[in-house]
Structure 1
């Protein structure tokens, strides 16, 4: 009789844990804001024991211990959280030495490929969902994303946009081709004001005037670091551009604008509305 009771108890446990991905709740560390956002959407937020500083959405992630920001992340800080699995993307820019340390630690380290495109965002959501046995939840997120993407308006008059990465006047970089910003501009129906280089390069007055963007795009925190629009207009070359003369400056949350995850469509729509 006791044996039968134990059997039914075990059966009940299996039923209760079915569909949750794992019978044992994993301790997860996410080194990427988009991955953290996806995990929350999959219903796995309570399993997150550590996140990087780009994991800002939803706001509840602020309560989770931080492991640092890409190149400043240390393996020791991650391992101190005793995770079962550590996830990151090929865009996370983890130092090779840290990746090596984590691989040799005995902990599960998983890299997800992340491409800056509609298809790339959808693929990432599905792959993360599949890995954590939450494909049904992932498909709900994909459907919502696809609905948002279908609502992105086509601009009647495409403009030249230039993204400036700012951390005070001492750190000013512009975004070239192939970056998440470049891809976002294209998705919103506009074009990057600069070409001829990839990734980021230092901003110069000469190159800024030559590019002559219609709109300058910055992270909200970046414009704040320059003491607002007046501070931005004091940077050599800015006031001589169409954007500067018309005071056409757009700011958005950094992770929202560049995440290329579940909120990609919403971000493109907001950018389109602000560029008008």
Structure 2
């Protein structure tokens, strides 16, 4: 593995430090002549590393690391919420990167640290400003701060192309993994923030996080648009399968065929592709109902 010059500061035991928000300066060392070996436990962090030109240093990722496609070739250490420390440690990383929102259990992080592996956990706010800060924080951590500039410039250009929905359509997001696992998104979720940024209104904003989907809640919310992950709609058997779910047909979205889908990580990742994600979401929720 070829070591990128700016990361050679690791060689010879030089100190890598980063001041992250309220966190103290983090310092660690790597053995002499050993290239940096990174495991990422967060899909957005993985995407940022690739955009920074550091993919060659990634030796393992979690299953939410789906973009770019080349990440599929790397060893998977599991879903970030159910990762075992042993799987991460077995890859012999120099550095593990994750975010607070990834949900990796604190005891797993401590196990990794106790094995002598450096772990940096980033803060991530679900907003445009939060996305920009995360990109710069990852770049700073990897000692390539200037490489964030073109990424941020591209993000701004993409955001400038976003045309918000003008009539504030009510959007209901359903998280589905087959008919046995169906949840709706309340306030404070990534999807809630995306709907707001796209000019829509979350049809179920009277509660926090997620709640099980019920026919009564569907009818009461009466969304103009129903939004799912591509994989979620597929798990229900497509639009025809969703139409069979009790309460769907009684909503404006069901009556007008306003069922839309997006790639899960693109929709919820708040990654460097945030502008592209909002372009797609705004276009889809603004589409006119079928005649």
- Name segments (4+ residues, structure 1) moved above 3 Å: 16-24
- The answer to whether the aligner puts 1:252 opposite 2:262 as a matched pair is yes
**Structure-2 residue corresponding to 1:214:** 224
1:267 match: 277
Q: Which one has a larger percent helix, Structure 1 or Structure 2?
A: 1
**Residues 1:91 and 2:78 are matched in the alignment:** no
Cα–Cα, structure 1 residues 153 and 21, in superposed 2: closer, same or farther, change >3 Å?
Answer: farther
For 1:34-68, what per-residue CA distance to the aligned partner results, in whole angstroms no more than 9, with x for missing partners?
00000000100010000000101000000000010
User: In the alignment, does 2:206 pair up with 1:196?
Assistant: yes
Unaligned runs of 5+ in 2: 12-33
- Are residue 32 (structure 1) and residue 79 (structure 2) matched? no
Write the distance in 2 (CA, Å) between the matches of 1:267 and 1:261: 9
User: TM-score with structure 2 length normalisation?
Assistant: 0.87
Q: Structure 1 residue 102: deviation in Å?
A: 1.4
SS at match of 1:111: strand
Structure 2 contact 7–36 (Cα < 8 Å) conserved: no
| C-alpha distance after superposition, 1:104-158 (max 9, x if no partner) | 2210011000000000000000000000011111111011101111111022212
Q: Name the CA distance, whole Å, in 2 between partners of 1:17 and 1:50.
A: 18
CA RMSD of aligned residues (A): 1.3
How far 1:95 sits from its partner (Å)? 1.4
Cross-structure match for 1:59: 69
Q: 2:111 aligns with which of 101, 108, 114?
A: 101
Deviation of the 1:100 alpha carbon: 2.0
Larger radius of gyration: 1
Pairing 1:43–2:45 present: no
Conservation of the 8 A alpha-carbon contact between 2:164 and 2:197: no
Which residue of the other structure, out of 92, 112, 126, is the alignment partner of 1:82? 92
Cα distance in 2 for residues equivalent to 1:97 and 1:213: 40
How many residues matched? 261
Partner of 1:223: 233
Distance 1:222 1:140 in 2: 34
Q: Is the 8 A contact 2:166 2:199 kept in 1?
A: no
Q: Which residue matches 1:164?
A: 174
Q: Distance in 2 between matches of 1:99 and 1:135?
A: 26
C-alpha separation between the residues in 1 aligned to 2:230 and 2:137? Answer: 31
- 1:21, 1:133 within 8 Å by CA — same for their partners in 2? no
Alignment equivalent of 2:147, drawn from 123, 137, 149: 137
- Asked if 2 retains the 8 angstrom alpha-carbon contact of 1:21 and 1:134, the reply is no
What are the Cα deviations for residues 164-198 of structure 1, in whole angstroms up to 9, with x where unaligned? 00000000000110100000001111110012211
8 Å CA contact 2:218–2:248 kept in 1: the answer is: yes
TM (normalized to structure 1)? 0.92
Match of 2:6 among 6, 14, 19: 19
CA contact (8 A) 1:21 1:132 kept: no
Q: What is the distance in 2 between the residues matched to 1:242 and 1:148?
A: 31
Q: Is the 8 A contact 2:219 2:251 kept in 1?
A: yes
Give distance in 2, aligned partners of 1:59 and 1:233.
32
Aligned equivalent of 2:126 = 116
Partner of 1:10: none
In the other structure, the counterpart of 1:242 is 252
Answer yes or no: is the 8 Å Cα contact 2:243–2:254 preserved in 1. Answer: yes
